[in-house]
């Protein structure tokens, strides 16, 4: 059973993601030729890692909001993989395994992230820096 802290954290995360997605799909950035905004949904269906029903402090800093070095590392790996995935086929979760064996590499089919902006449709516009 998850603690109320984990439930509240998940609700906060989903609310922020919904607000971001609403902004992206609002049309505010449609038709721009100077940049594209591509939603990177790797965190959408992620659950907060827990240890004995409470957030796993290996992944969070002392304020229990920001990620620790280990958490940042997992998020960076998930973001990197998302940036190499085509729009519409992006992973929507992160399992917090601290496992680098699943890192994707650019190929002729999967170019470097900056080239994906050419494939972004006008309505799929969140900078993930």
Examine residue 127 and state whether it is found in any structural domain, yes or no: no
Averaged confidence pLDDT in the chain: 78
Examine residue 66 and state whether it is found in any structural domain, yes or no: yes
Q: What are the DSSP calls for 47-79, one per residue?
A: ---EETTEE-TTSB-TTSSSB-HHHHHHHHHHH
Q: What CA–CA distances, in Å, run from 12 to 26, 51, 108?
A: 21, 20, 39
For position 2, what pLDDT does the model report? Answer: 60
Q: pLDDT tens digit string along 95-122?
A: 777 777 788 888 776 555 555 444 444 4
For position 107, what pLDDT does the model report? Answer: 78
Number of domains in the chain: 1
Would you state the structure tokens that stand for residue 83, as one six-digit string? Answer: 């940036």
- Prediction pTM value: 0.68
- Domain span at 93: 4-119
pLDDT-derived band at 36, boundaries 50, 70, 90: confident
Which tops the pLDDT comparison, 18 or 115? Answer: 18
Within 13 Å of residue 124, how many CA atoms lie on the same side as its CB? 15
Examine residue 125 and state whether it is found in any structural domain, yes or no: no
């Amino acid at each position: 059973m998850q603690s109320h802290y984990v439930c509240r954290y998940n609700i906060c995360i989903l609310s922020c993601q919904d607000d971001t997605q609403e902004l992206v799909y609002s049309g505010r950035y449609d038709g721009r030729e100077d940049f594209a905004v591509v939603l990177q949904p790797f965190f959408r269906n992620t659950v907060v890692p827990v240890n004995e029903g409470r957030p796993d402090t290996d992944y969070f800093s002392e304020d229990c909001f920001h990620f620790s070095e280990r958490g940042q590392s997992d998020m960076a790996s998930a973001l990197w993989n998302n940036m190499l995935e085509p729009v519409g086929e992006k992973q929507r979760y992160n399992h917090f395994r601290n496992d680098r064996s699943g890192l994707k590499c650019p190929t002729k089919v999967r170019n470097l992230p900056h080239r994906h902006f050419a494939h972004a449709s006008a309505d799929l516009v969140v900078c993930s820096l």
